[in-house]
Structure 1
């Protein structure tokens, strides 16, 4: 049996990676190929994993929570991938936290216990078309985030500019210029709701470990490269972290407008919010990205919670305001 291909889904917070992952998994089912998933969240709560399991409760998933896959969790990647290999997958998808550098995964795949079994097939970077041009100005004081976003563009084999239904043609042109400064070789697809011809991403995926052969020996070539390590601080468990996550619980039903008002208090430091919230008519999945908040009915039966992700959020202040909302 040949090596198993690994696809890395990269891109900043809220760009649409999980939506794309759901489509990739559906395509695998149609091709009768068996996928496995490694999901990385910088917080302690795995909302994205729950979203995937809602679609397919049998999906094989390993989770690395409360840290970045290329920093505090890097030493756990090999163990998680070994667990996935025991299930005999035909392909593995790794969805990175939005602030991870994807090239670090290529380094992880060179571990002795993995090098003969896996190879990096593609890095697919998903960009938030509505907000990507604002990242540089919003994060002017957080240079590392700017560098991370640029690096995600630079190392991508395929780029997807998502949420194009929310932007103008002029805005698309400006994004195209930004991309070309970092990457002139990789194809760029403009999408809405991560809708794309999946065959452009997966290639000729086949069952029984045949893998993807669109880039012959690509894994071996990448593993021979000298891949630099870029240090960055965003571990939510450390006080000096620039990006931190706060998990908030619910004591009662809430009104959506109250949550939106709460989230606005933390601009511009707030990057993202997501979780399962109790409304009068049931459970809803909430996702907040930059200026927009999305709600959709959910069959989630676990605890209700909201995770907020931001730059230098003041935990005590956030929790204090949250307690007032829940009072």
Structure 2
């Protein structure tokens, strides 16, 4: 399995600097990294930050989340099938919600081939001090990126006074009490801090992925043993707790030859017919997903 790190953070926080440092350190450790870059604009990534020997896929004028998820899956598929690499670094656009970006990574087509190690969020300490000047929607995204992190890089700490640095660290820790916080200048962190993030573990009947030890945001890959009735499945979905954010995959339905493509986001359900025999699996993303019972399974 390939280890995957998702780099999150607000616009201009220092994600690209972090990416460059991590590439350099992985290569020094004898590991070959691959990179997927996501940009909102038409201009591509500054090639000076990624050497020519590093496999690079770029997504321009889009976001990993929403409709860009399918494009992201295609990029991942091309990397897995056509490139030789040891570790994958994904830099999201600063406008991406971390849960939605994570959803794109966990395609049921290859979820069992990728080991999501965690979300590393770069937090701009100077912007944190001025966060109340942001629009409500922008501020919410800024906070959500920090809230869902498994490791927080408190960047641009050199621009703060000692008192400001202490206040920012405590305030961020209060927002996300489970993620370690690393104070940095130019997003420089030692490699061992991210490689310590907890890897995938498996159980007999269910593949469960816990992203980070003692961290709540997690994903779970479930394989169906038999077809389920659509009405009963939707009833199960309606009774899920609010802590389940996203689901995506192929659900085998009674009376249908092939599993249906199923998507769920924030209470909304979508079904699409599939004309190929896809593996009957769904990926569930949320808080403590290993604690929920999945319909039609006596092993959960």
TM-score by length of 1: 0.61
Partner of 2:91: 95
Residue 227 in structure 1 maps to residue 245 in structure 2: yes
Aligned counterpart in structure 1 of residue 181 of structure 2, from 175, 188, 212: 188
Deviation at 1:41, TM superposition (A): 0.5
Deviation at 1:71, TM superposition (A): 2.8
After superposition, the C-alpha distances for 1:97-132 in whole angstroms (9 at most, x for unaligned) are 111111223322332222121132111001112222
Contact 2:65 2:103 in 1 (8 A): no
Aligned counterpart in structure 1 of residue 32 of structure 2, from 31, 34, 38: 34
Deviation at 1:39, TM superposition (A): 0.3
Partner of 1:52: 49
Partner of 2:201: 217
Aligned counterpart in structure 2 of residue 132 of structure 1, from 128, 152, 160: 128
Partner of 1:70: 65
Deviation at 1:74, TM superposition (A): 1.7
Partner of 1:153: 146
Residue 200 in structure 1 maps to residue 193 in structure 2: yes
Quote the Cα distance in structure 1 between the aligned partners of 2:42 and 2:19.
Answer: 21
Quote the Cα distance in structure 2 between the aligned partners of 1:214 and 1:110.
Answer: 17
Q: SS of the counterpart of 1:113?
A: coil
Which blocks of at least 5 consecutive residues in structure 1 are unaligned?
Answer: 204-212, 232-327
Partner of 2:106: 110
Aligned residues: CA RMSD: 2.1
Partner of 2:228: none
Partner of 1:43: 41
Deviation at 1:215, TM superposition (A): 3.4
Deviation at 1:230, TM superposition (A): 6.8
Deviation at 1:190, TM superposition (A): 0.5
Deviation at 1:156, TM superposition (A): 0.6
Q: How many residues align?
A: 214
Which blocks of at least 5 consecutive residues in structure 2 are unaligned?
Answer: 203-207, 211-217, 221-242, 247-264, 268-300
